[in-house]
């Protein structure tokens, strides 16, 4: 089974022109097999990038990339529901479902399940496969023991979140707005001030989490470069990179080189650290430890 790389949707509120140019460069230069577009976190952001969707999707397709449209993860009003139902019902694009309520709308057509859908056992994964899911990106908090069992469900391809700030939870309230003493309806789109999310500190001023509008994320950056051999042995065929404000073409190149065993994981991590100065890496969830930990390969389960 060939190992494949996917680029997840941009989860942050980037300026529309930056969002467009990011995907156009990905189309031309990034060594990835599938690319996700679409607003996952907040529907209020969607109108800003919507004018660029057609051009971005066309460029990605002409570059030979599989294009997946990622749905909202939290549908909170009738307008959002109508937009998501229209998207899922039209059948023009493969849809990634991030809100389980949209499952019935795709009507059994092939689709992808996103990492914000809770998949914790084989029964759930098999059920989703029976509903038409062809690939499922597992929640980033799963340990290897769970991934190993889920990858054994041969009815569906399993994808693992391997790079980026990990999406952990969503709320109907906007954390970013509250941090700036604003209401959600008058947020002034302050989330756009933090292209990789706003760091949340503990009372003793230690970085703890990050917030991205209505979303809670890890403060650390997931880095599973050193776990590819273990994950491939478990039967994982897809590996997701989640965009951050760095050179994602270079990130994809490093991940591909490690996947293809052209460089080792230690060298890949060293180069990744040079691309992301000051960023803290983590792989603790995979190893059954606290998510912020970063442990060596031989410390699995320690």
pLDDT surpasses 70 at 90? no
pLDDT top residue among 253 and 87 = 253
What's the average model confidence in pLDDT over 259-288?
95
Return the CA Rg of the chain. 18
Q: What average pLDDT does the chain have?
A: 92
pLDDT, tens only, 179-213: 888 988 888 999 999 999 999 999 999 999 999 99
Strand partners for 210: 199, 217
Residue 299 has pLDDT above 80, yes or no: no
Please write the tens of the pLDDT for every residue from 223-258. 999 999 999 999 999 999 999 999 999 999 999 999
pLDDT at residue 301 in the model: 40
Average pLDDT for 110-136: 95
pLDDT of residue 186: 87
The predicted structure's pLDDT at residue 302:
35
pLDDT of residue 149: 96
Structure tokens at 173: 């309230």
Range of the domain at 27: 4-299
Residue 83: per-residue pLDDT? 78
How many whole angstroms separate alpha carbon 252 and alpha carbon 266? 16
- CATH code of the domain covering residue 208: 3.20.20
Residue 297 has pLDDT above 80, yes or no: no
Count of CB atoms within 10 A of residue 12's CB? 24
42-75 residue pLDDT tens: 989 999 999 999 999 999 999 999 999 999 998 8
Q: Is the pLDDT of residue 89 over 50?
A: yes
The rounded distance, in Å, linking the Cα atoms of 249 and 25 is 8
Residue in the block written with tokens 């039209």 = 90
pTM of the model: 0.94
What 8-state DSSP symbol labels residue 77?
S
Tell me what pLDDT residue 263 has: 95
221 and 243 in contact (C-beta within 8 Å)?
Answer: no
Domain count, the chain: 1
For residue 298, pLDDT over 70 is answered with no
Torsion of CA 198, 269, 243, 120, to 10 degrees: -90
Q: Any idea which residue has 């997701």 for tokens?
A: 240
3-state DSSP assignment of residue 56:
helix
């Amino acid at each position: 089974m060939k190992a494949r790389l996917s680029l997840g949707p941009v989860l942050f509120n980037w300026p529309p022109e930056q969002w467009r140019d990011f995907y156009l460069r990905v189309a031309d230069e990034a060594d990835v097999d599938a690319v996700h577009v679409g607003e996952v976190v907040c529907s209020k952001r969607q109108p800003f990038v919507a004018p660029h969707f057609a051009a971005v999707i066309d460029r990605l397709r002409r570059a030979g990339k599989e294009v997946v449209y990622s749905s909202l993860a939290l549908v909170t009003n009738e307008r959002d529901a109508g937009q998501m139902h229209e998207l899922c019902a039209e059948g023009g694009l493969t849809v990634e479902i991030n809100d389980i309520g949209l499952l019935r709308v795709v009507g059994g057509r092939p689709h992808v399940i996103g990492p914000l859908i809770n998949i914790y056992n084989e029964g759930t994964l098999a059920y989703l496969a029976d509903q038409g899911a062809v690939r499922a990106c597992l929640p980033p908090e799963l340990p290897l023991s769970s991934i190993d069992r889920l990858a054994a469900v041969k009815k569906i391809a399993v994808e693992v979140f391997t790079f980026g700030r990990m999406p952990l939870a969503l709320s109907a309230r906007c954390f970013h707005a509250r941090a700036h003493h604003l209401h959600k309806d008058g947020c002034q789109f302050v989330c756009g001030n933090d292209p990789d999310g706003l760091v949340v500190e503990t009372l003793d001023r230690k970085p703890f989490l990050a917030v991205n509008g209505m979303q809670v994320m890890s403060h650390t950056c997931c880095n599973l470069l050193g776990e590819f051999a273990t994950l491939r042995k478990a039967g994982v065929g897809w590996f997701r990179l989640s965009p951050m404000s760095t050179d994602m073409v270079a990130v994809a190149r490093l991940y591909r080189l490690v996947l293809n065993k052209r460089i080792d994981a230690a060298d890949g991590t060293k180069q990744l650290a040079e691309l992301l100065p000051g960023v803290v890496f983590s792989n603790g969830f995979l190893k059954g430890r606290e998510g912020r930990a970063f442990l060596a390969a031989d410390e699995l389960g320690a």
